Structure 1
Amino acid sequence: MTRFVYAAIDVQGNDVNDRIEAETEYAARRELLLANLDVRSIEPYKSWLHRDIGKGKRVKPVEILHFSRQMAAFLRAGLTVVDGLDVISRSTANPTLAKALIDIRDQVRQGGQFEEALASHQDLLPRYYLGVVKSASMTGRLDEALEQLSSYMERELEARSRIKAALAYPMVIVGMSIVSVVVLTVYVLPKFVDLFDQLGSDLPWSTRSLMSLARFSQQYWWVYLLAFAGFAGVVTWTRRSRVGRRLADHLFIRLPVIGEIILFSGVERVCRILSALWQAGVPVTDGMAAAIESADNAVFVEKLIPVQEAVLAGEGISGPLADSGLFPDAAVQMLKVGEASGTMAEQLENTANFYGREVEVKLRKLTSYFEPAVIIAVGFVVGFVAIALVQAMYGSLSGGATAP
């Protein structure tokens, strides 16, 4: 059991700050929900040792991937858990991970269970990791589960890398565009204000509007800072607040194109982890719990909990997934075939691969439209500024400009 600290609000609206013991964060949240508590935040309780470890270097997902793969190889080779942890702790370059592995090794050496020792460092692991390890330990297939976890994490990292690569160029264009507009309004345009004031001639409407913007930027530059700070605050609140994340997830999944990308990405993740755990012999009920904990979207979490309850009631998995409304018809049909033919792990993998490719195609299509749109918008702004300045200077040099 892992101890968690949480902040919540009860039905009377009072703040509740306390601790709870549960196997996973998901189980803790579920228990608190049944107690009519609205959870605001929850995290594993850290003793003085874990707080000391937390001050060190961050443990990256790829390092957990390598640990899982190495541990699986050592267990298949006949090494004990203690020996495997000892070897990995001495070979890892990350001091934070090394300290955690040494602590886990010592707990197991003193008679503790591997999954219980891992639970004391759950903050270093993905949310679904501990539940999978516990289920695999009970079935005696820990090496297979660790290997499948490493394979899942590897595909997950590859998918994230492809998404980041697809979005990198558009983000660079957007950043350069924002910088260009800021430089124009804050530094370039104000230099022309005094010049045109000295000329004293009538200016075209385009130039007058630019000069008004330049004067505003000079006198009320702090408004831009406030706007940026407000935007940053909203983004931070959305990312860190449970309510904010839920609102954002429900909003974005309804957007055209972007919502479809989020939906397909979530379907790929759920199918990928279910396939990995199915192949490792983890019970489907535990696999569903891991899929829920791996979901980083509130919509998926809310829709998958009834699926898990239906699976526990013996209804199978393809039917409840279809009823959730999250899975497209093609995915549902593939899973029904897998359930009927006994090839569920294979069909889950095929479904994950199919929707992974769909995400890549839609991302490329989105960025192919996005890039020229940004370039056209920036070109319009820069062109408008250039035309406005040229009109004013030409009118002044020719003896006075007249407003059109």
Structure 2
Amino acid sequence: MPTYQYTGRNAQGRQVSGQLDASAEEQAVESLLAQGIIPTSISRHFGKKKQEIDLSEWLARAIPLEALVIFCRQLYSLTKAGVPLLRAINGLVQNSTNKQLKKALEDVSSELTNGRSLSDSMQMHAEVFSPLFISMISVGENTGRLDDALLQLSLYYEKEIETRKRIKEALRYPIFVVGFIGIAMVILNTMVIPKFASMFERFGVDLPLPTRILIATSNFFVDYWLLLFTLFLGAIFAFKAWVSRAAGREKWDKFRLHMPLVGSIVNRAQMARFSRTFALMLRAGIPINQSLTLASEALDNHYLENRLTEMKTAIEAGGTITNTAISINIFTPLVIQMIAVGEETGRIDELLLEVADFYEREVEYELKSLTARIEPILLVVVAAMVLVLALGIFLPMWNMLDIIKGG
């Protein structure tokens, strides 16, 4: 989440300054006003908020979505039953099994006791509660429909969990096969081929080209394994450093949308997530510009996020949603068509939810067929390995048998 540097005056008229996290500048202003601070200047801060190294931030794992679903469901039931909010939060603190969520709820309970709103209290824990989550809670508080907001959030995260599970199931088999091939390559180059090479050397057999290639590859692997391992780690760190830069991350995220075999699946999944998030924000009554900001952050794709930022700027300049959606050139014809019809009828949220359902079904079908499409490629790779190994091992053995028979 972006960090904003601000200066302003508090209720006593004193000048104050500091930093706070917010999904957009408008939300930062609203947060400051809620704290009784009138901002005189506010700008995005790109530096590090902390100079010291906090190991807990490096070791802490992201809170699982399942924990958020359970929290939303439980808080929804309690608020629906009329249980006071502070009492409900205190009860959930005692029943929470996730340490991160429990610690955050303890702080939220303390802030509620001090008079803060639920959304402002949760905003202090951006590592647990996303901007989308906080915005939905804020809308629920302002409209008096907190229970509905919690129900919508639980349904949203349940859909996200289902999608992630389907992706893991589809990738499990290819990852297993690729891992097995990697292990087999290591064993062959370090244990099997060197023994055959020593045997062929003792017999003095003229080695064919496939065998010489195998032995040279094995010797290089055995002699320079440390260099190869270092280069592998260096490539990983170089890739992470490149992706950590804004330009590199945008190019990588754009490439992900056009990758062979899986690019179309990623693109459709992103369209489904955007459609559902944007519709959820609009249905909750959040302004279009802020809804676009929250929907773009939910995508976790910098290329799409930057294009949606351009769309937001164009809308704020007076453009229509349909024309700006066409101009940024990231939406499929179906999404643009639904946006155009929804803009004319005032039912963008309903139509985008239908788009989300359609693309989620498409993604589910594509994921089921992904394994069938990857299998032939893996079979060709395995067959090529076996063929090269067989030629490299058996051709000199046949030469050895000919020598023995001739002798």
Mean Cα deviation higher: 331-340 or 231-240 = 231-240
Do the aligned residues in 2 keep the contact of 1:253 with 1:263 (CA within 8 Å)?
Answer: yes
Aligned residues between the structures: 383
Q: Within the alignment, does 1:140 sit opposite 2:149 as a pair?
A: no
User: Partner of 2:273 in structure 1?
Assistant: 269
* Residue of structure 1 aligned with 2:403, choices 389, 399, 403: 399
Pair 1:213-2:217 in alignment: yes
Q: Which residue number in structure 2 is paired with residue 59 of structure 1? A: 63
Structure 2: which amino acid aligns with 1:190? P
Query: How much has 1:361 moved relative to structure 2?
Result: 3.1
What is the one-letter code of the residue matched to 2:143?
A: T
What SS class does the counterpart of residue 367 from structure 1 fall into?
Answer: helix
3-state secondary structure, aligned to 1:122: coil
SS in 2 for 1:125: coil
Q: Distance in 2 between matches of 1:79 and 1:36?
A: 40
Larger relative contact order (CA 8 Å, sep ≥ 6): 1
Deviates more, 1:116-125 or 1:353-362: 353-362
Taking structure 1 as reference, are residues 187 and 29 closer, same or farther at Cα in structure 2, changes over 3 Å only? farther
Do the aligned partners of residues 23 and 313 (structure 1) sit closer, same or farther apart at CA in structure 2, a change above 3 Å counting? farther
Query: Any idea what SS the aligned residue of 2:158 has?
Result: helix
Aligned residue type for 2:70: H
What is aligned with 1:171?
175
Aligned to 1:186: 190
Contact 1:104-1:114 within 8 A present in 2 as well? yes
Distance 1:171 1:29 in 2: 42
1:220-271: per-residue Cα shift (whole Å, max 9, x none)? 2223212321233234335544443223112332444433222222111111
Contact 2:166 2:367 in 1 (8 A): no
Partner residue of 1:227?
Answer: 231
Q: Once the two structures are aligned, what percentage of the paired residues are identical?
A: 27
Tell me: CA distance 1:316–1:135, structure 2 relative to 1, closer, same or farther (3 Å).
farther
Alpha carbons of structure 1 residues 200 and 51: separation in structure 2 relative to 1, 3 Å: closer
- Residue matched to 2:241: 237
The yes-or-no answer on 1:154 pairing with 2:152 is: no
Q: Give the C-alpha shift of residue 138 in structure 1.
A: 2.9
Does the CA contact (< 8 Å) of 1:82 and 1:105 recur in 2? yes
The question of whether the paired residues in 2 share the 8 Å contact of 1:201 and 1:400 is answered with no
> Does the CA-based 8 Å contact 2:3-2:21 persist in structure 1?
no
Deviates more, 1:322-331 or 1:304-313: 304-313
Q: Distance in 2 between matches of 1:226 and 1:283?
A: 51
* 1:349 aligns to 2:347 (yes or no): no
Residue 21 of structure 1 corresponds to 19
Tell me if the contact between 1:148 and 1:279 (Cα under 8 Å) persists in the aligned partners: no
Note the 1:106-145 alignment, pairs <5 A. Answer: 106-145=110-149
Aligned to 2:84: 80
Q: Deviations over 1:3-33 (max 9, x none)?
A: 9499xxxxxxxxxxxx9634514449999xx
State the TM-score, normalized to the length of structure 1.
0.83
Contact conserved, 1:193 with 1:214, CA < 8 A, in 2?
A: no
Q: Deviation of residue 188 (structure 1)?
A: 0.9
SS in 1 for 2:19: strand
| TM superposition shift of 1:59 | 2.6
Q: 1:76-95: CA deviations, max 9, x gaps?
A: 22222212211111111123
2:355, 2:302 → 1: CA distance? 22
CA distance in 1, matches of 2:145, 2:327: 32
* Residues 24 and 71 (structure 1), Cα distance of their counterparts in 2 relative to 1, 3 Å cut: same
User: 1:339: which partner in 2?
Assistant: 343
User: After the TM superposition, which of the residue ranges 352-361 and 106-115 deviates more from structure 2?
Assistant: 352-361
Counterpart contact for 2:189–2:221, Cα < 8 Å: yes
CA deviations 1:311-346 (Å, max 9, x no partner) are 445645333223321111122112222333333222
Q: Residue type of the partner of 1:323?
A: S
Contact 1:59 1:124 in 2 (8 A): yes
- The answer (yes or no) to whether the contact 2:339–2:348 under 8 Å persists in 1 is yes
TM-score, with length taken from structure 2: 0.83
* 8 Å contact from structure 2 (residues 4, 22) kept in 1: no
Equivalent residue, structure 1, for 2:256: 252
Tell me which residue corresponds to 1:92. Answer: 96
Checking the alignment, whether the CA contact within 8 Å between 1:249 and 1:298 is kept in structure 2 is yes
Deviates more, 1:216-225 or 1:392-401: 392-401
- The farther-off stretch of 77-86 and 257-266 is 257-266
Say whether 1:296 aligns with 2:300: yes
The separation in 2 between residues aligned to 1:231 and 1:30, in whole angstroms, is: 39
Give the counterpart letter for 2:367 in structure 1: L
Structure 2 gaps of 5+ residues are: 6-16, 30-40
Structure 1, gaps ≥5 residues long = 7-18
3-state SS of the aligned residue for 1:21?
Answer: strand
Change (3 A) 1:234 1:323: same
Residues 121-130 or 53-62, more deviating: 53-62
| Letter matched to residue 401 of structure 2 | L
CA contact 1:166–1:364 (8 Å) conserved in 2: yes
Task: Give the SS at the match of 1:59.
Answer: coil
CA RMSD of aligned residues (A): 3.4
Q: CA deviation at 1:381?
A: 0.9
**Secondary structure of 1:289's match?**
helix
> What is the Cα deviation at residue 56 of structure 1?
6.8
SS at match of 1:123: coil
